[in-house]
Amino acid sequence: MKAIFNNEIINDRELLLETDDRAMQYGDGLFETIIVKKNPSKLIKYHYNRLIDGAAALNFQLPSYFNIQYLESSILKLIHKNEIKYAARIKVQVWRRKGGFYRPESKTSNLLITVNAHINEPETIKNVGISKSVTNNYSAYSQFKTLSALKYIIASMEKEESSVDDLIILDQNGNISELLYSNIFWVKDSIFYTPSTETGCIRGVMRTYLIERLKETNIAFEEVNATPEELYRAEYAFATNASGIRPIIGFNNVQYKVYPNLDKIIEL
**Angle of helix 205-216 versus helix 44-58 axis, rounded to 10:** 120
14 Cβ contact list (under 8 Å, min separation 6): none
261 has a pLDDT exceeding 90: no
Q: What percentage of the chain reaches a pLDDT higher than 90?
A: 87
Q: What is the pLDDT of residue 118?
A: 93
SS3 73: helix
Question: Taking the alpha carbons of 164, 170, 175, 179 in that order, is the dihedral positive or negative?
Answer: negative
* 23 CA to centre of own chain: 19
State pLDDT tens for residues 147-171: 999 999 999 999 999 989 999 999 9
pLDDT of residue 16: 87
Q: Say whether 128-266 and 2-117 share the same fold.
A: no
Of residues 265 and 97, which shows the higher confidence score?
97
Residue 224's nearest CA partner among 180, 255, 188, 181 is 188
Q: What is the pLDDT of residue 264?
A: 76
Q: What is the mean pLDDT of the chain?
A: 94
Segment 71-93 mean pLDDT:
95
pLDDT in the model for residue 82:
96
Tens digits of residue pLDDT in 199-246:
999 999 999 999 999 999 999 999 999 999 999 999 999 999 999 999
Q: What pLDDT is attached to residue 256?
A: 96
CATH code for the structural domain at 2-117 = 3.30.470.10
Rg, the chain, Cα only: 19
> Which CATH fold topology does 128-266 show?
D-amino Acid Aminotransferase; Chain A, domain 2 (3.20.10)
Summarize pLDDT for 18-54 with one digit per residue, the tens. Answer: 889 999 999 999 999 999 987 667 899 999 999 999 9
Residue pair 241/183 in contact (Cβ under 8 Å)? The answer is: yes
Residue spans of the domains in the chain: they are 2-117, 128-266
pLDDT band at 268 (very low <50, low <70, confident <90, very high): low
Q: How many CB atoms lie within 10 A of CB 267?
A: 10
Region of 218 (left: φ > 0; alpha: ψ -120 to 50; beta: rest) is left
